[in-house]
Amino acid sequence: MKNRYEGLLILNVKGSEDGAREVIERLEADFKKEGLVVEQVQKMGHRQFSYAAGDLNGGYYVNIVFEAEPVVLAKIQAKLKLDEAIYRQHYLRLAGKKAA
């Protein structure tokens, strides 16, 4: 059974808007290829971290709402963990409406 999730991704694009746009388009294509149904993509822009993480002092934040099977979500998490353009990822299952 598919559940609705909200994912917060922090991109490591060194402040480049064009680089962020390319990564977001690639992520949406990857999500759809894996069978996730993307409902909404919110580009929250570049934000500074409260403390520097190595040589990285900020990241481009993206919020994605989608529907997926739990197994597929685990697969996408593992794949994105290896992606150098993704600095952090966090997913939250949304209550309420469930997909059929």
Q: Which domain holds residue 28?
A: 3-93
Asked if residue 70 belongs to a domain, the reply is yes
pTM across the whole model: 0.85
CA distance 75 to 72: 5
Q: Are 64 and 7 in contact (CB under 8 A)?
A: yes
Asked if residue 16 belongs to a domain, the reply is: yes
Question: Which amino acid belongs to residue 68?
Answer: A
Each residue of 7-57: pLDDT tens digit?
Answer: 999 999 875 677 889 999 999 999 999 999 999 999 998 888 888 777 888
Residue 100 lies in a domain: no
Number of DSSP helices (H) and strands (E) in the chain, helices first: 2, 4
Tell me, rounded to whole angstroms, the distance of Cα 52 from its chain centroid.
Answer: 21
What is the total count of domains within the chain?
A: 1
Residue 98 lies in a domain: no
Q: Give the number of other CB atoms < 10 A from CB of residue 28.
A: 16
Q: What's 44's domain CATH number? A: 3.30.70.60
